[in-house]
Amino acid sequence: MKIKLLFTFFVLFFINMNAQNYIFGKINTEDGLELTDATVINIRTNERVFSNSDGHFMISGRTGDELRFVKAGYERVNKKVNEDNLSSSMQITLIKAATLIDEVEIKKGITGDLAIDAKNLNEQKKVQKLKNELALYISRKSDPRILAAKGGEFVQPKGEGFSVGKVKNKWDDVDLMKYLISALGEQYFIDLKIEKAYIQHFIYYVFAGGFERKNILKYGFCSDADLMRFQRAILVRISSYRAPQTQR
């Protein structure tokens, strides 16, 4: 009888220790404003959720788990789950991250035209090299057999057409890529199991997956809504990026 009671005690103790609970909480700024779409990560389970429009979140976890709170433009926060967090709402405050701007020696006045200003500014050699490689990749011509019409397809006859002039974008993909890394931080991608050396390559992979950025490049401005769209595009593309090359 004692053995049965002892066995029952250990079973109940084991179940209690491994029981999965839900942690509720709210994320605010240091000014007391609710933070929407902040990412909450359970480090143990790698589960990820987003805060709602009121800053509230709910994630599964248990005592001893470590939660990480991430939001573009804010310092990330790590929080250990204790018994009190399972019985009451967890209150998290994120502080805006300080943005450091590299010094640039201005040789000529800023015109607002990216193509002209880029030539006048002293750019880093690595950035210039990356732009050159990207330009070479884009300039490569496709195999004409890919674009050729198939049998029975209608082919639009060629005409002289007309030109309305070329409208220059204020940004290109390299500018957008640099902004995304600056806004999200390299650690954001490292947390997604993307090695630091492959962060830029992964961003271009997301671009190639159909991420709409026409207006971003045209006006040279990436809004918070655009940043959220990019984060959702990451979650869609990251599985195929990790798959073998033949499956991409």
Shared domain check, 63 and 7: yes
What's the pTM value of the predicted model, to 2 decimals?
0.37
Shared domain check, 23 and 122: no
Provide the domain count of the chain. Answer: 2
> Who contacts 103 (Cβ-Cβ below 8 Å, separation ≥6)?
none
CB 55 within 8 A of CB 26: yes
**Do the domain assignments include residue 182?**
yes
Domain with residue 69: its CATH number is 2.60.40.10
Domain that holds residue 60: 2-94
Q: Identify the segments of the chain with pLDDT beneath 50.
A: 4-9, 11-15, 159, 161-164, 245-248
Given this model, what pLDDT does residue 242 score? 76
Given this model, what pLDDT does residue 94 score? 94
CB 38 within 8 A of CB 32: no
What are 221-245's pLDDT values in tens digits?
A: 999 999 999 999 999 999 888 765 4
Shared domain check, 213 and 131: yes
Q: Which strands form 39-42's sheet, in the order they lie side by side?
A: 48-50, 39-42, 66-70, 77-80
Shared domain check, 121 and 222: yes
Quick one: what percent of the chain has pLDDT higher than 90?
A: 52
Given this model, what pLDDT does residue 248 score? 45
Distance (Å, whole) CA 77 – CA 147 = 51
**Do the domain assignments include residue 218?**
yes
Shared domain check, 76 and 134: no
Reduce the DSSP state of residue 52 to 3 states and report it. coil
Q: What are phi and psi of 84, to 5 degrees?
A: -65, -35
Shared domain check, 66 and 179: no
